[in-house]
Structure 1
Amino acid sequence: MIKKRAKKRTQEYKKHVGQVPGTLVYTGKKSDKEFQVECFDYTKESAEETILLNIEEAASYKETDSVTWINIDGLKHTKKIESIGKQYDLHPLVLEDIVNTSQRPKIDEYEDYLFVVLKMLYYDKDEKIVVEQVSIVLGKNYVLTFQESEDDVFSIIRERIRLGNGRIRGLKSDYLMYALIDAVVDHYFHIIETLGNKIEDLETELFAGNARDNINIEVQQLKREILKVRRAIFPLREIINRIEKGEHQLIFKRTITYYRDIYDHLIQVSENIDIYREMIWSLMDMYMTTISNRMNEVMKVLTIMSSIFIPLSFLAGLYGMNFKYMPELEYRYGYFVLLGVMLILFISLLFYFKRKKWI
Structure 2
Amino acid sequence: MARKIIKKRGKKVGAAPGTLVHIGEKSSMGANIRVIDYDQEHLTDTRIHAPDMCGSYRDSHSVSWINIDGVHQTEVIENLGKSFGLHPLVMEDILNTDQRPKVESYEDYLYIVIKMLLYDEVRHETRTEQVSLILGRHFVLSFQEFSGDVFEGVRERLRSGRRIRFMGTDYLAYALLDAIVDHYFILLEKFGDQVEILEEELIADPTPATLAKIHHFKREMLLLRKAVWPLREVLSSLTREENPQISAETRLFLRDVYDHTIHVIDTVETLRDLLAGMLDIYLSSISNRMNEIMKVLTIMATIFIPLTFIAGVYGMNFEHMPELAWPWAYPAVLLLMLGVAGGLLVFFRRKNWL
- Per the normalisation by structure 1, the TM-score is 0.93
CA distance in 2, matches of 1:33, 1:286: 46
Q: 1:5 to 1:186 in 2, by over 3 A?
A: closer
The answer as to 2:97 corresponding to 1:93 is no
Matching residue within 211, 218, 227 for 1:216: 211
Partner in structure 1 of residue 317 of structure 2: 322
Tell me the secondary structure at the aligned position of residue 15 of structure 1.
helix
The answer as to 2:39 corresponding to 1:73 is no
Structure 1 residue 351: deviation in Å? 4.4
Partner in structure 2 of residue 133 of structure 1: 130
For residues 145-172 of structure 1, the C-alpha deviation after alignment (integer angstroms, 9 at most, x for no partner) is 001111211111111111223x211111
Name the aligned partner's letter for residue 16 of structure 1: K
Contact residue 59 and residue 88 of structure 1 kept, 8 A: yes
Contact residue 137 and residue 143 of structure 1 kept, 8 A: yes
Contact residue 33 and residue 148 of structure 1 kept, 8 A: no
Give the stretch that moved more between structures: 41-50 or 347-356: 347-356
The answer as to 2:278 corresponding to 1:278 is no
Give percent identity, aligned residues only: 46
Matching residue within 143, 147, 151 for 2:144: 147
- Which runs of 4 or more aligned residues in structure 1 lie more than 4 Å from their structure 2 counterparts after TM superposition? 354-357
The RMSD of aligned alpha carbons is 1.8
5 Å matches for 1:142-221?
142-165=139-162, 167-208=163-204, 210-221=205-216
Contact residue 201 and residue 210 of structure 2 kept, 8 A: no
The answer as to 2:229 corresponding to 1:234 is yes
CA distance in 1, matches of 2:35, 2:348: 79
Name the aligned partner's letter for residue 130 of structure 1: R
Structure 1 residue 55: deviation in Å? 1.8
Name the aligned partner's letter for residue 118 of structure 1: I
Contact residue 132 and residue 147 of structure 1 kept, 8 A: yes
Contact residue 27 and residue 146 of structure 2 kept, 8 A: no
CA distance in 1, matches of 2:149, 2:349: 63
CA distance in 2, matches of 1:16, 1:80: 19
CA distance in 1, matches of 2:319, 2:147: 95
Give the stretch that moved more between structures: 76-85 or 26-35: 26-35
- Structure 2 portions without partners, runs of 5+: none
Name the aligned partner's letter for residue 272 of structure 1: T
Structure 1 residue 358: deviation in Å? 3.2
Partner in structure 1 of residue 290 of structure 2: 295
Name the aligned partner's letter for residue 305 of structure 1: M
- Structure 1 portions without partners, runs of 5+: none
Name the aligned partner's letter for residue 328 of structure 1: E
Contact residue 102 and residue 230 of structure 2 kept, 8 A: yes
Structure 1 residue 357: deviation in Å? 4.3
Tell me the secondary structure at the aligned position of residue 319 of structure 2.
coil
- Per the normalisation by structure 2, the TM-score is 0.95
CA distance in 2, matches of 1:255, 1:345: 86
The answer as to 2:37 corresponding to 1:41 is yes
Tell me the secondary structure at the aligned position of residue 98 of structure 1.
helix
Matching residue within 19, 26, 29 for 2:15: 19
